[in-house]
A = this chain, B = another copy of it.
Amino acid sequence: MCCDGELECPCPPVGLIDVVGKKWAMCVVTLLGYHGTLRFGPIQRSLPRVSPATLTATLRALEKAKLVVRTAKEPVRGAPVSYDLTARGKALYGNLLPLAEWLRSA
């Protein structure tokens, strides 16, 4: 947990905050949770101000955190690549959704 000092507190580990707190991470997770399987292009075009480098970094971080899986049918460059939430990612989405919706209304 991020608080390991004087007071107890139910907050999550800093490492996960770093992942979830990345500027586009929540957006990618909600996009995948809402739409299911998506490819790089549509994700990028839904996040108009993200540069490809940043989006790649975000996806890699989510992959490393086992929240997202990357699937390339053929190992050829330029071949379609799909992204999906893992079971863990879907669980996160489930817990994230009420928060996201509240934030939208607030």
List A residues at the B interface (Cβ < 8 Å). 1-14, 16-18, 20-24, 26-27, 30-31, 34-35, 38, 42-43, 45-48, 88, 91-92, 95-104, 106
Contacts and interface: CB of A to CB of B under 8 A. Distances in A.
19 contacts: A3-B47, A6-B42, A7-B34, A7-B46, A9-B31, A9-B34, A9-B35, A10-B30, A10-B100, A11-B30, A11-B100, A12-B100, A13-B103, A20-B103, A21-B21, A21-B23, A91-B106, A92-B103, A98-B98
B9 A30 contact: yes
Secondary structure dominating the interface of A: helix
A35 B11 CA distance: 12
Contacts of A1: 104
B102 A13 contact: no
Contacts of A4: 48
A26 B7 contact: no
B22 A2 contact: no
